[in-house]
Chains A and B, each alone.
Chain A
Amino acid sequence: MKNDKTFDDKRLLGVLDGVDQKFIAEALESYDLAEPQKTRKAPIYRRVALLAACLLLVSAAFPIINYVLPRFGITVGGNAGAGSEEVQTAMTSQSQIIDSPYDRSIDAYPEGMPVNEILEDVLKGGWVVCDDNREIVGYDLWNEFLDKVDRKESCSVLVAWYGILSPISSSIDYEASTYREFILLNKISYNGEKYDLETRNIQTIDSIDSKTSGSYLYLYKTEFNPSEGRESNIKLWVLADEPNVSLTDYFKYSLSSTSVSLKYSLRFLFPAEE
């Protein structure tokens, strides 16, 4: 993004100023600020009494939880020691795996990959969602993954890459005749030594109109390359089962192109080569 852009820019104001009032009216339906809020604080003696009651409840609950309930074989909370980490890890991994669109067969989508439906699913949690490396949802999961890689622990993360194919991303290899949203589902695994990249929905290309008849599709992204001081097209993905080239090779190829944002996103795939 250029640094000289400001909100005062006519480009922005000119467009947003013209948004139809009916849309603003519609959005304002979510605001419930029409009437002044009337709040009345309870008298001081009531607040003190309420506080005292809470303290009494807490102090009474403590011996019940620790001494009375265990006699009947009931425990509350559990051991906060060594086992809790394992439980937490198991829960995290479950949330990433269970009910995940990644585990659904492509046959489950006879009409093609439903981008909206899949996005809804992956956004429910346990996924990292990238938009051409510019915006990422799920930084925490990324960072968690990176931390484990740093510690040489086995780990995996599910990544959904969202994008729109259009004539502007055309190249000699591919020319889209229509604008199509796509979502690419990856599972990136690390076993303590090397990475593995699985791609679930390569078949997505079958639903994309292409004037070329090849069995492959390249996606390009234009990025500023600081070492060359200019913008360059970077081969980002190949969405195809081209027999002699694996997707992982293309990630390596992309990494060697060393763009700022790509490096940011892909460095975790091959940190040893940096």
Chain B
Amino acid sequence: MNDEKIIELLFARDERALAETEKKYGNLWRYIAANILCLPEDREECLNDVLLEIWNSIPPDRPNDLRAYSVTILRRRAIDRTRSVNAWKRSGNMQTVGEEFLSTLDDGTDLAADYENSRAVGILNELLENLPTLERKVFVMRYCLGESISGIAAKTGSSEGRIKMMLMRTRRKFKEILIKEGIAL
């Protein structure tokens, strides 16, 4: 079933929409959830959260891309589950990914102060917009989807070394722009 049909079912409050969505994207969700959450039970609960949120948010939302929309929800819900210390200890690849991302932003960079007005978010999206497609995909796969370096290399047909360099360069560009814009100290 295509996305438009699923969304129509959701608007009609037809519960078959949830089964169809899970059938269509369940494997993808499980794969990405496994990048963030270690325990299978956490992942399954996370998937249920996603389905519930889709049910509650569509309508009024009418996403253009149900796959990206659902993965964004999944990522947020999965991260919510890592918020407690105990859950954090059980979290998987995203801990490494998070530390890797922060390692470049450190040195006094304080995004928290500008978080509310989303300047940093705007800067990141602008940076991503201007990146070559491959570098942008690599960045998003690593930091938004929690993909492993080897996984990204396999999916993009690149070497792991090349992927590391791409990520490092993008992080550094981001940091430089933040500093230039006066967001960092």
The reply to whether the CB of A33 lies closer than 8 angstroms to some CB of chain B is yes
Contacts A23-B136, A137-B165, A164-B176 given: A6-B98 contact, CB under 8 Å? yes
Which residues does chain B contribute within 8 Å of A8, judged by CB atoms? 82-83, 88
Segment 151-210 of A: residues with Cβ below 8 Å from B: 162, 164, 166-168, 179, 181
Asked whether, in the complex, the Cβ of B112 is within 8 Å of the Cβ of A5, the reply is no
The reply to whether the CB of A35 lies closer than 8 angstroms to some CB of chain B is yes
Which residues does chain A contribute within 8 Å of B168, judged by CB atoms? 131, 134-135, 162
Q: Which residue of A lies closest to B162 (CB)?
A: A123
- Tally inter-chain residue pairs, CB-CB below 8 A: 169
Asked whether, in the complex, the Cβ of B31 is within 8 Å of the Cβ of A18, the reply is no
The reply to whether the CB of A245 lies closer than 8 angstroms to some CB of chain B is no
The reply to whether the CB of A19 lies closer than 8 angstroms to some CB of chain B is yes
The main secondary structure of chain B at its interface with chain A is helix
Which residues does chain B contribute within 8 Å of A168, judged by CB atoms? 176, 179
Asked whether, in the complex, the Cβ of A21 is within 8 Å of the Cβ of B82, the reply is no
Q: How far is the CA of A170 from the CA of B111 in the complex (A)?
A: 23
Complex A-B: 18 CB contacts under 8 Å:
A7-B91, A8-B88, A17-B76, A18-B118, A18-B122, A23-B125, A23-B140, A26-B137, A27-B136, A30-B155, A31-B155, A34-B25, A36-B23, A36-B26, A119-B165, A131-B168, A166-B176, A222-B107
Q: Which 10 A-B pairs have the closest CB atoms?
A: A18-B121, A7-B98, A25-B68, A11-B111, A27-B140, A14-B115, A137-B161, A33-B27, A33-B28, A30-B155
